[in-house]
């Protein structure tokens, strides 16, 4: 099964995204999709990531990346079927496919919680070099398990920077400083925000007394190395429960 057949099997059609949504994503480099998660599903995801974080302790996130001031989890494909929605939801897949020209696979599925007093990141892209507008390699989705607010470390983006052909560290004196054009991705819990990972973005400081929790379902082109090698990590019981279409998205 090729990726286009897999996307069709998973419910992705030409009209899954509206023309207005496609245009917004092309021009701004990000797209909020409200109400993707029901409150029941969101609560279930929160319970599971909290359980996994407690279970894994200081090893949490080590399959991919650990970060001071955050709680991270990685390899979530293998850790509960509840996470399957993050790489099989048709609206999300349609948006990722739109950015990557239909040439896509899951790179990694991680969790990140910015802890109180932490979370600030410099503006960055998730690619090691500048790219020509339209020639995109990576695209991310942020699954908001908590409301994103100006106070709790919401991600900031610079709209249209995906079309700049530049990286922030190459042109900004201080990528950690506020950018005059930046927008905070504030939205209710249950929202999924798609963002072209060549769009300049970064976490902001969590100034509350609670963690700000999100899942990151990250995709790349099929000829690129995954952040987590899904074939190397896939467990037999995970493969057995997944459809052929889902396995194709994982490239396993």
Taking the alpha carbons of 68, 152, 34, 46 in that order, is the dihedral positive or negative? Answer: positive
pLDDT of 133 reads 94
**Contact at 8 Å (CB) between 168 and 122?**
yes
For the chain, domains (ranges, CATH) are 3-230 (2.60.120.620)
Shortest CA distance to 243 belongs to which of 87, 95, 38, 49? 87
pLDDT, position 90? 98
pLDDT the model gives residue 23: 98
Report whether 137 contacts 222 (CB < 8 A): no
Q: Is the dihedral of CA 38, 240, 77, 196 positive or negative?
A: negative
**Contact, 125 vs 157, CB < 8 A?**
no
- pLDDT value for 156: 96
Q: What is the pLDDT of residue 106?
A: 98
Q: What is the mean pLDDT of each run of 10 residues along the chain (252 residues)?
A: 98 97 98 97 98 95 91 97 98 98 97 94 94 96 97 96 95 93 97 97 95 97 97 97 98 97
Q: What is the pLDDT of residue 6?
A: 98
Please name the residues in contact with 221: beta carbons below 8 A apart, sequence gap of 6 or more: 100, 103, 104, 105, 137, 138
């Amino acid at each position: 099964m090729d990726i286009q057949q897999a996307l069709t099997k998973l419910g992705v059609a030409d009209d899954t995204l509206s023309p207005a949504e496609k245009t917004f994503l092309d021009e701004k480099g990000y797209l909020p999709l409200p109400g993707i998660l029901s409150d029941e599903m969101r609560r279930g995801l929160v319970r599971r990531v909290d359980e996994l974080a407690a279970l894994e302790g200081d090893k949490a996130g080590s399959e991919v990346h650990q970060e001071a001031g955050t709680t991270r989890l990685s390899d979530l494909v293998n850790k509960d079927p509840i996470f399957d929605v993050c790489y099989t939801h048709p609206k999300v897949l349609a948006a990722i496919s739109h950015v990557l020209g239909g040439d896509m696979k899951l790179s990694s599925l991680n969790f990140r919680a910015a802890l109180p007093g932490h979370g600030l990141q410099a503006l960055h892209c998730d690619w090691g070099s500048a790219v020509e507008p339209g020639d995109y390699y990576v695209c991310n989705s942020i699954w908001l398990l908590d409301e994103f607010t100006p106070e709790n470390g919401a991600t900031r983006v610079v709209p249209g920077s995906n079309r700049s052909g530049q990286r922030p560290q190459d042109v900004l004196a201080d990528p950690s400083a506020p950018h005059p054009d930046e927008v905070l991705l504030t939205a209710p819990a249950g929202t999924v925000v798609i963002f072209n990972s060549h769009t300049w973005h970064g976490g902001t400081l969590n100034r509350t007394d609670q963690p700000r929790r999100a899942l990151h379902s990250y995709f790349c082109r099929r000829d690129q190395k995954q952040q987590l090698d899904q074939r190397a990590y896939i467990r037999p019981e995970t493969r057995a429960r997944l459809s052929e279409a889902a396995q194709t998205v994982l490239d396993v």
